[in-house]
Structure 1
Amino acid sequence: MSVDPLPGSGLGAAWLGSSVVDLSLTVAEELPCSWPGHMPYQQKTFNYFVDDFSDEAVLRSHCGHYQTRWLLMDEHTGTHVDAPAHFVPSPTSGLEGADEAGAITADRIPLDQLVGPAAVIDVTALVGTAVADGHSPMIEIAHVRAFEERYGDLAPGDVVLFRSDWDAMHYRAGGAGAHYAQEAVIHGRGAAWPAPSVETMTYLADRGVRCVGTDGPSMGSSHDGGPVHVSGLSNGLVFVEALANLAALPARGALFVFAPLKIARGSGAPGRALGFVPGT
């Protein structure tokens, strides 16, 4: 059986012999998978195998001998993509900042924009270096250029992934999970994840990068997240946020794939992120 190379990947069919790395957060009610202040994630059993009543829960068998659950979730829950429509108003809206990019909703993002060679930029040294409590340390152009000097220039089709290991440090169940986003965003205290500046995002766009990912909860900073979203999303980029396990990828050589739910009119969509690492 012949396999056509993936468009823009530069890796051809080599991914068939690669190890698959899960780059997605687990979504659960006890984990900080929702943006602070937004709709909290909920998962409830609608139908269970049999009626099962206890002091802790009531499970009903409405429909037969099987189990199914329903979900309540924000579009930006867990590992997810930001469509341009998240921060750019539709061109027909008449709103300030309206642009053609605002017509690109989650279901209209070209799938080949979410597939490409991964350029994993290690920014772990920035964690804890912010100038103020509750602020994100900024990823500047100099950090990207340092990567390029070592690993080669970024090229059109590359997927840039900012690795801070924020998920490994703070994506925890219960109260410990407040340090993932809530403490910085809501209370303005503690450390926050590294985030790219507007200038850095412009630099990536000028390099032809169309997809940027982060293992922080947002591409935007904890203290002023709007500008970098507007800058990137209005210039043809999409963001994959709340990634996980980026330490398992090499700086160069892996293939990144993100498969979002096809949500009509969505400002974003959760999905599954994968990394394919050849020869491992």
Structure 2
Amino acid sequence: MNAPAVPLALALPLPGHRAVDLSLTIAEDLPCYWSTHQPFQHKTWTWFADRPNSSGSVYNRGGPYTTRWMAIDEHTGTHFDAPSHFVPPPGSGLPHAGPAGEISAERVPLEQLMGAAAVIDVSGLPLAAEGGVSTLFGSEVITAWERAHGRLEPAQVVLLRTGWDRRYLRGADGDGYLYDVVVTRKSPGWPAPDVSAIETLLDRGVRCVGIDAPSIGAAHDGAAVHVCGLSSGMVFVESLTGLGDLPARGAWFCFVPLRLEGGTGAPGRAFALVPAG
């Protein structure tokens, strides 16, 4: 017997809101992984019954069920960067080493990955003329948004809408999302914040920033903004989608990653609760 359905209005923690999924679908034919890193693979381990096939057989390995295994990079699909992603641990003797280097994925508190959303739209910025290069924007974009929508507040989640997610397509059509930016360098990169923008957000007390592009950092040099934010305990949620469905203010954002011990980041599910109507 099926359990009785729970009305959506009762399931949501904020009555009068609707849920908006901000997560990319991950699949082998989608550009869900960094083009020079571990490719995403998703394969059948066991099937309900043996099924010989010249292009790839599947087998029953012990029960009336099916399950699949994955080979997956920590930074696949919609994911977050923990501070340890770019900050070496203290005592390592490496550049930028510090206490934040000990904050791996499972040590990031969930409350840091949720909060009132402030959506800053930079999708109108012109792209760089050179392949593999991102257009950078600075603190002036942050302060301009504040003049229109009010000052950013501590613990808000800032979401940067670039519109890059429209390039997330299957097969060769999806090469423009990442491959043709960082490998062939035939295409310019996504708009990305510079260090001054991250410093301004830190000054406002923001500790979580999201973007609907493959990285918070520029395609041609992503290290500087990662080090700036992550060394201060900030985290980044990357490869979001659907930020155009959110208002500049008024939505509530949440990202729930895998609790991956020692992870430099982890995939997860991002969503927002948006006022209905």
- Which TM-score band applies after superposition, normalised by the shorter structure? over 0.9
Q: Which residue does the alignment assign to 2:251? A: 254
SS in 2 for 1:125: coil
SS in 1 for 2:183: helix
Letter in 2 for 1:178: D
TM-score by structure 2 length? 0.93
Q: Deviations over 1:194-234 (max 9, x none)?
A: 11001110110011000000000000000011111001101
Q: Which residue does the alignment assign to 2:231? A: 234
Give % identity.
50
Give the Å deviation of 1:55.
Answer: 1.8
Letter in 2 for 1:167: D
Give the Å deviation of 1:56.
Answer: 2.1
Whether the aligned pair in 1 keeps the contact of 2:138 and 2:196 (CA below 8 Å) is: yes
Inter-partner Cα distance in structure 1 for 2:127 and 2:96: 33
Q: Root-mean-square deviation (CA), in Å?
A: 1.2
Q: Which residue does the alignment assign to 1:33? A: 32
Cα distance change of structure 1 residues 184 and 279 upon mapping to structure 2, 3 Å threshold: same
Task: Give yes or no for the alignment of 1:218 onto 2:188.
Answer: no
Q: Which residue does the alignment assign to 1:74? A: 73
Give the Å deviation of 1:278.
Answer: 2.0
Inter-partner Cα distance in structure 2 for 1:48 and 1:82: 35
Task: Give yes or no for the alignment of 1:161 onto 2:159.
Answer: yes
Give the Å deviation of 1:31.
Answer: 0.2
Q: Deviations over 1:147-175 (max 9, x none)?
A: 1111100010110000011112x101111
Inter-partner Cα distance in structure 1 for 2:120 and 2:200: 14
Give the Å deviation of 1:131.
Answer: 4.7
Inter-partner Cα distance in structure 2 for 1:132 and 1:186: 14
Give the Å deviation of 1:14.
Answer: 6.2
Q: Deviations over 1:66-117 (max 9, x none)?
A: 1100010000000000000000001143322210011100000011100100
Inter-partner Cα distance in structure 2 for 1:131 and 1:236: 34
Inter-partner Cα distance in structure 2 for 1:274 and 1:121: 17
Letter in 1 for 2:164: W
Q: Which moved more, 1:71-80 or 1:183-192?
A: 183-192
Inter-partner Cα distance in structure 2 for 1:92 and 1:19: 47
Letter in 1 for 2:241: A
SS in 1 for 2:181: helix
Q: Kindly tell me the number of residue pairs found equivalent between the two proteins.
A: 266
Give the Å deviation of 1:253.
Answer: 0.2
Whether the aligned pair in 2 keeps the contact of 1:84 and 1:236 (CA below 8 Å) is: yes
Inter-partner Cα distance in structure 2 for 1:117 and 1:137: 27
Inter-partner Cα distance in structure 1 for 2:109 and 2:224: 24
Whether the aligned pair in 2 keeps the contact of 1:14 and 1:278 (CA below 8 Å) is: no
Q: Which residue does the alignment assign to 2:7? A: none
Q: Which residue does the alignment assign to 1:204? A: 201
Mapping for residues 1-280 of structure 1, pairs under 5 Å: 15-126=14-125, 128-168=126-166, 170-280=167-277
Whether the aligned pair in 1 keeps the contact of 2:96 and 2:227 (CA below 8 Å) is: no
Inter-partner Cα distance in structure 2 for 1:166 and 1:93: 36
Q: Deviations over 1:38-88 (max 9, x none)?
A: 000000000100000112221100021111000100000000000000000
Inter-partner Cα distance in structure 2 for 1:250 and 1:237: 23
Inter-partner Cα distance in structure 2 for 1:142 and 1:112: 28
Which consecutive segments of 4 or more residues in structure 1 shift more than 2 A? 92-96, 131-134
